[in-house]
Amino acid sequence: MSWSSRLPRLTRSRVIAGAVVLVLVAGLVGWAAWPESRDWTSEDQMITVPTGPGGSGSVSLDTRLYLPKDHDDKVPAVLLAHGFGGTKESVSDDAESLAGRGYAVLTWTAQGFGRSGGQIHLDSPDYEVRDAQGLLDWLAARKEIRTDATGDPRVGVVGGSYGGALALMLAAQDPRVDAIVPSITWNDLSNVFLQQSASTEATGVFKKGWAGVFFGNGGSDASSEALANPACGRFAADICAAYLQVATTGVPDQKTLDLLRKSSPAPVLSKIKAPTLLVQGEVDTLFPLSEADANAKGIAAAGTPVRVAWFTGGHDGGAGPQTDQDRVKFLTVQWLDHYVKGEGDKPSDSFTYSRVAGFSALDRGLVTNGYSTDAYPGLGGTGSTQISLQGSAQPIANPPNGNPGALSSLPGTGGRLSTLLAGVAADIPGQFAAFDSGPLPEAVDVAGAPAVRLRAASPTGEATLFVKLYDVDQQGAETLSAGLIAPVRLTGLPSSISEAEPVTVTLPAIVRQIDKGHSVRVVVATTDQAFLSPTEPATYTVAVEPALTLPTVVGEPIANPQTVWRYVLAGLLLAIALGLAVVLLMRRRRLRRQHTPTELEYADTPLVVKGLRKAYGDGFVAVEEISFTVERGQVVGLLGPNGAGKTTTLRVLMGLTMPTAGEALVFGHRLVPGSPVLSRVGALVEGPGFMPHMTGWENLQAYWKATGRPVEDAHFDEALAIAGLGDSVHRRTRKYSHGMRQRLAIAQAMLGLPELLVLDEPTDGLDPPQIAEMRRVLKRYATDGRAVLVSSHLLAEVEQTCTHAVVVNKGRIVASGPVEDIVGESPSVQIEVSDVPAASRVLSDLGVRSVTPDGPSGLIVDVNGTPRSEVIASLVRAGVDVDRVVPRRRLEDAFLALVGESSAGSGDR
C-alpha cells in the first residue's frame, strides 16, 4: 500500500486544485525519469613525474581526472589517494561523488601497483610523496583548475590507510596543499609493526600477521614485468631487506627502524599547515585509535586546525554501518567545502564518535549511534571509572615458538572474529591468567584507552605478554572488543614476582558500553597468533594491581546527516513536498468536519473485528463472517488457503474497501477512509508502491511528509535499519529488485512506530536469512504495548513468529487462539540435547515408544503417554543438558486438519 492510499476522496473543487499541483509535479517527474546522465566527465592518462631523491628519476603513473560538467569557472581540485594494494579504480565511487559536487578529482595508481611503473617504497618522501608533488604541478597547469598563484592549485588531499599517510606527508612536504582528510592511517610504522603497550623502553612486539599481509599484497603483481627478485616482488630492495630482517629475528636493527620512521608522518607533523580532519576506525587491529591520537596531538601542537572523528569501522570493520558512512561523508564534504572550495561555515571543533547499537534487520550488519562532544578528549576520555579486579599472582607458560597460540584477531576480520569463532576458546589453557571484577552496579560507557598496572617475573629476565580486556555477561560469555589486545615486551625482570616492579599497560582504545550486571575480565596471555612470540619455552608469573581505569566520555547523541549529492533531486523533493502539503491541507480541513464513531469499551484495544461480511454486486461473497481481536503485545497470524478471504479482510481493515456488514474497530474507532486513527496504524497491503524516480530514502521522507506529523516522530534510523539496504537506499527505486522493494515497504510501514502494524505477506521476495531476521523484527516490534497482524502462507514462519493465529477458510473463521492451542498436544516431541547418545540411552530405559535422531543435537521421541516433565527430569538427572522441547506436531498439520488439503481456491479474495 502506497502513501496515497491513506488520503481521503476529494470534492470536485479540491480535485481541480490538486490537479494543478500534480501537473507541475508530473512535469518534474517525467524529466527525472529519463535515464541518469553523469554530471561529470573523466579522462585516463599516463603522467610522467619526477621521482627519487632530488627528483633524479622519473616514473609513469596511471591517472584519471574527473571534471564536473557545465562548470562556469575554474574549479577546486581534490587529490584522491587509494589504499595499499589498490589502484585508481579502488576510489572511483568517491571520485564520482566529489566530481558531482563541483570538484576536479585526480586519482592515480601509486608506483609499484597496477599499470604504474616504479617500486613500492611505503610512502617515502623521496618517492610516493614526491610523485604526488608532481601531480600537483600537473593540476596547476590545467586550465580548468582554480589556482591561488602560478603553479599553486587550490587543492585538498583525501585518502585512507596508505593514501591517508600520503595525505599527511604531502601536506608536510608541500605548502600548496590547502586541506587534508586522512583516514584509518598510521602515525609511526615503527610503533605499528613493533607495538609496545607498556611504559618501558624495550622494543615492541613484531606484528607478524599484518606485516605478512602488507608484504604479500605488494610482493607480486600479475601486470608487472618479470620480477628480478621473486622474494621481493615490486618492493624496493631496502623495504624488502627490512621486512626480511625483522620477520626473521623479531627485533629490528637501527637501519630498519630508521626506514620505518622515514615512511611515517610522525617526524614531520609540525610542518603540516593544512587544516586536517582525521578519521579513524574503532575496529582496526592494524592502525588503532592511538595512531590518530598521536597525529592529532602533533598537528595541533603546531597551531594547525585539526578535528578528529571515530567511526565503527576500519581495517577489520570495513566502511562501517551505513549511519557511520553517512556521517564520515558529511564531515569530509563539509571540511573540503569550507577549506578548499571556500563555501559554508567553518566546521566546529567538536569530536564525533559512534557506538554499536545493535544489528540491523534483515541481517544487513551493525547499526550505530553517533555522539558528539565539544572538543577532542584524547584517549583519556573526559572522565574515568575505577574498577576493582580480583585474583592473585598466577604462573603462565610460553610454549616453544608461541605454538599453539591464542587467537584474538586475524588481519581483516577483527571485531567479526567472535562470530567466526563461536564456541571456540580463543585463550589456551595454561597460557593465560585471568583477573575479574564483580558485576558492575551501573553501565559504563568506555571511550578511550583503559589502563592497568602489571607485574611480571621470568627466569630468563624477559617476557612477551598480551593483555586483553573482556566484557563478560551474566551467563559468562566474554567479548573482546574489535579483537584489540595490548602486546607487551618486558626486559630486566626478576625471577620472583615479589621483587617485580609494576609497569603501566595502556590497552587499545575502545568505544563500548559495558552493561549493568556485566563484569570485566583482564587476561594476560603468553601467545597470540597475530604477533611473534619468543622461540624458547619459559614459565612466567604475572599479577595485576586491583585498580583498572576505564576512560569515559559523555557525548550528546547526534542525528545521522544525509549528504545530498544531487541538487536536482533536492529540488524535485521540494516540489513534491509542496504538492503533498496542498493535498494534506485539504485532507485536514475535511477531517475537522468528519465524525468518526468511537466505542469506549475498545479504546485501548488495537483491533476488534465483529461480524465482518463482504459481498460484491455480482453475488460473490468474499468474506462470510469474520470476528477476532488483536490485543497489545500479540503477533497474530491470519492464515488461510488461497481464496479464503485474507486479503479482502485486510483491505476492509485499512479502509480500502467498505464491508457489506459488520465493522472493524481500531482503538475503538470505526474505520472510514481518512480516519485520523489510521495515523496509529502502519500497513503493507497489496504490495509496495513507490515513486520510481525517487530514491528509497526520498520515498520514505515524502511518505512521512504526507502524514503531516513532526519529522522527529518518524524514527528514520530505525526504519533504515529495518530496510537493511545499505548504500542502495540512495538509489532510485525503479532499479530495486522485488525483495529490495519489499524491505523498503516494510520499513515505510514501521515509520513512526505505529501501535498496530498490518502486513500482507511481508516475507514475499525475501531470502531465508532475511525471513529469519523478519521473524525477530516482528517479535521485538510487538513489545512495549504494540501489536502486529500478519497474513502469510508460510506456516512454519507463522508458527515461529506469531503468538496467536486466526485460521480462515471459505470466508469464515475455523479456528483462533494461541498458536500452541491450535497446534495442540502431540504424542511426539522434538528435543535438543547436549549429548545425543546419552539421551537416547536414558529415554530407552524410561520406556518411551521410539527415539529417532533428528540432526546433530536433536531427537524425535514418541513419549507413549509419559509426561513431558518426567522425560525432561530424567535427562537432567542423568547429566544431559536439555536445550529445547517442543511438540512434534506442526502448525501445518493443524492447518491441514482444519481446512482440508483440497480447499484452496483459484485466487485469494
Give, in degrees to the nearest 5, the angle at Cα 205 between 201 and 209.
Answer: 155
What was the pLDDT predicted at 689?
72
User: Is the pLDDT reported for residue 228 higher than 50?
Assistant: yes
Model confidence band, residue 367 (pLDDT cutoffs 50, 70, 90)? low
Judged against a pLDDT cut of 70, whether residue 339 lies above it is answered with: yes
Read off the C-alpha cell for 512: 563500548
Residues, the chain: 909
The rounded percent of the chain whose pLDDT value lies above 70 is 81
With H, G, I as helix, E, B as strand and everything else as coil, classify residue 456. Answer: strand
Q: Give the pairing of strands 383-388 and 366-373.
A: unpaired
Q: pLDDT by residue (tens digit) across 677-722?
A: 777 888 887 666 787 778 888 888 888 887 777 888 888 888 787 7
Nine-digit cell at 87? 589502484
Encode 58-83: b = buried (16+ Cβ within 10 Å), e = exposed: ebebbbbbbbbeeeeeebbbbbbbbb
Of the listed ranges 17-26, 142-151, 853-862, the one predicted with least confidence? 17-26
Q: By C-alpha distance, which of 61, 286, 57 is closest to 164? A: 286
Mean pLDDT over 615-619 rounds to 73
Its pTM stands at 0.62
Domains in the chain: ranges and CATH: 384-554 (2.60.120.260), 595-822 (3.40.50.300), 826-888 (3.30.70.100)
- CA distances 622 to 297, 465, 608, 684, Å, are 73, 74, 19, 20
CA triple 192-194-199, angle to 5 deg: 95
pLDDT at 284: 92
CA distance 472 to 520: 6
pLDDT, tens digit (0-9, with 9 covering 90-100), for 117-151: 999 999 999 999 999 999 999 999 999 999 999 99
Degrees (nearest 5) of the Cα angle 719, 722, 728? Answer: 90
The single residue listed with the C-alpha cell 542525528 is 559
Specify the residue for cell string 600548496.
176
**CA–CA separation, 830 vs 192, rounded Å?**
53
From CA 703, how far away is CA 748, in angstroms rounded? Answer: 8
Amino acid 827: pLDDT: 62
Q: Which three cell numbers stand for residue 713?
A: 516522530
Q: Measure the CA–CA gap between 469 and 531, rounded to whole angstroms.
A: 17
pLDDT of residue 578: 55
Cα-based distances in Å from 865 to 419, 505, 820, 822, 861: 41, 63, 19, 20, 11
Average model confidence (pLDDT) across the chain? 81
pLDDT over 60 (residue 662): yes
Alpha-carbon distances, residue 386 vs 45, 380, 474 (angstroms): 58, 13, 20
Q: Which residues of 697-733 are buried (b: 16+ CB within 10 A; e: fewer)?
A: bbbbbbbbbbbeeeeeebebbbbbbbbbbeebbbebb
Amino acid, single-letter form, for residue 589: R
pLDDT for the residue numbered 227: 52
Q: Grid coordinates representing 275?
A: 587544516
Q: Which residue type does 616 have? A: Y
* Angle, vertex CA 834, rays to CA 829 and CA 837, nearest 5: 80
**Lowest mean pLDDT, pick from 436-445, 463-472, 519-528, 650-659:** 650-659
The answer to whether residues 99 and 158 touch, using CB atoms and an 8 Å cutoff, is: no
Question: For residue 121, what are the CA distances in angstroms to 169, 234, 241, 768, 817?
Answer: 14, 9, 12, 47, 72
Peptide bond into 125 cis (omega under 30): no
Please, which residues bridge with residue 756 across strands? 681, 787
The pLDDT of residue 485 is 94
**Torsion angle of the four alpha carbons 171, 176, 178, 181, in this order, in degrees rounded to the nearest 10:** -30
Pick the more confident residue, 730 or 719.
730
Q: What is the CA radius of gyration of the chain?
A: 32
Q: How many CB atoms lie within 10 A of CB 233?
A: 20
The share of the chain scoring above pLDDT 90, in percent, equals 41
pLDDT at 800 over 90: no
Contact yes or no for 851/843 (Cβ under 8 A): yes
* DSSP per-residue codes, 317-382: TBT--HHHHHHHHHHHHHHHIIIII--SPPPP--EEEEEEEEEPGGG--EEEEEEEESS--GGG-S
Residue found by looking up cell 606484528 in the block = 207
DSSP-derived letter for residue 798 is H
Q: How many helices (H) and strands (E) does the chain have?
A: 22, 41
Q: Which stretch of 37-51, 155-169, 616-630 has the lowest confidence by average pLDDT?
A: 616-630
- Cβ distance 188 to 261 under 8 Å? yes
User: What confidence score (pLDDT) does residue 824 get?
Assistant: 60
Instruction: Tell whether the model's pLDDT for residue 624 goes beyond 90.
Output: no
Instruction: List residues bridging with 62 in a β-sheet.
Output: 46
Average pLDDT of span 261-287: 96
Between these two residues, 483 and 43, which has the higher pLDDT value? 43
User: Which of the two residues, 877 and 796, has the higher pLDDT score?
Assistant: 877
d(CA 860, CA 827): 10
Most confident stretch, 107-111, 826-830, 846-850: 107-111
For residue 34, pLDDT over 70 is answered with no
Name the most confidently modeled range: 208-217, 448-457, 829-838. 448-457
For position 394, what pLDDT does the model report? 95
Query: Average of pLDDT values for 586-599?
Result: 49
pLDDT of 817 strictly over 50: yes
Which position has the higher pLDDT, 489 or 883? 489
